[in-house]
Amino acid sequence: MNAAEQAINIEVATKIAAVVNLYKSEFPDAKADLKPWANDPDTRELVDPDSIDIGFHFPGRSRLFQSRSILVQIRFHEDPVTGIRRAIGVELAGFDHKGKQWLLSTVEEWQFVGESQPVAEVGEKLKHFCRQIFELFNSEEIA
């Protein structure tokens, strides 16, 4: 779900802002997009209500990223007994004019898959960014 819609309280809004700042501290040329999903019925059917989605766009296609835009999806699960909401996975996808070029998922092997991949140094920075997201969202309870 669009990050702008998930900023339902000050705690979550602050953490969303922290994610943007973490990304921009590593990749200052990127512009954050807190509403990466279109607001039409077809798109709405595909959106995960248990995620926070943020887009980052570069001024042009980045050869280092092998993409022009990155979609960050932070997935959550709420324990039905305790009510604690935790980040359980992060997916990053790189897009350019030809569509999705690569995907990185923290769910299994933390490997890039797709037609192309970011250069190794950028790939390691993106993995570090994912680890920082887990630290940020799982350091304490999320309302």
What are the tens digits of pLDDT across the range 43-92? 555 567 788 999 999 999 999 999 999 999 999 988 888 888 899 999 99
Mean of pLDDT values over 84-104: 92
Check: pTM over 0.85? Answer yes or no: yes
What residue spans define the domains of the chain? Answer: 3-138
Q: In this predicted structure, what is the pLDDT of residue 24?
A: 94
- The DSSP-derived string for 89-139 is EEEEEEEETTEEEEEEETTTT--EESS----HHHHHHHHHHHHHHHHHHHS
Question: When comparing pLDDT for 55 and 4, which is higher?
Answer: 55
C-alpha–C-alpha distance, residues 118 and 102, integer Å:
8
Contact predicate 68/97, CB 8 Å: yes
Residue 18 burial (10 A CB sphere; 0-12, 13-18, 19+) = middle
- What value does the mean pLDDT of the chain take? 88
Q: In this predicted structure, what is the pLDDT of residue 121?
A: 96
Mean of pLDDT values over 7-30: 91
Structure tokens at 12: 């979550």
Q: In this predicted structure, what is the pLDDT of residue 42?
A: 54
Contact predicate 84/137, CB 8 Å: no
> What's the pLDDT tens digit per position in 111-122?
999 989 999 999
> Does pLDDT of 40 surpass 60?
no
